[in-house]
A = this chain, B = another copy of it.
Amino acid sequence: MDDRNRQVVLKRRPVGMPAPEDFDIVDGPVPEPAEGEVLLRGVYLSLDPYMRGRISGVRSYAAPVELGQVIEGRVVGRVVRSRDPRFREGDFAFGGYGWQLYSAVAAGILTKLDPTEAPISTALGILGMPGLTAYVGLSDIGQPKAGETVVVSAASGAVGAVAGQLAKRAGARVVGIAGGADKCRYVEEELGFDAAIDHRTPDLGTALGAACPNGIDVYFENVGGAVQQAVFPLLNDFGRMVMCGMIAEYNDTAPRPGPNLGAVVRKRLKIQGFIVGDQRGRIREYRAMAAPLVREGRLKYREDVVEGLDNAPAAFIGLLQGRNFGKLLVKLDRDPTR
Interface residues, chain A, with chain B CB atoms under 8 Å away = 53, 60-61, 221, 224, 228, 237, 241, 243-246, 249, 255-275, 278
Q: How far is the CA of A244 from the CA of B265 in the complex (A)?
A: 6
Q: Looking across the interface, which residue of chain B has its beta carbon closest to that of A250?
A: B262
Are A273 and B264 interface neighbours, CB within 8 A?
A: yes
Cβ of A328 to closest chain B Cβ, rounded Å: 20
Q: How far is the CA of A264 from the CA of B255 in the complex (A)?
A: 13
Are B261 and A243 interface neighbours, CB within 8 A?
A: yes
**Copy number in this complex?**
2
Are B257 and A258 interface neighbours, CB within 8 A?
A: yes
Cβ of A241 to closest chain B Cβ, rounded Å: 8
Are A271 and B271 interface neighbours, CB within 8 A?
A: yes
Q: How far is the CA of A256 from the CA of B261 in the complex (A)?
A: 9
Are A272 and B269 interface neighbours, CB within 8 A?
A: yes
A243-B261, A259-B261, A268-B274 given. 15 additional CB < 8 A pairs? A61-B267, A224-B262, A228-B261, A243-B265, A243-B269, A255-B262, A257-B258, A264-B271, A264-B272, A265-B275, A267-B273, A268-B273, A268-B278, A269-B272, A270-B271
Cβ of A291 to closest chain B Cβ, rounded Å: 27
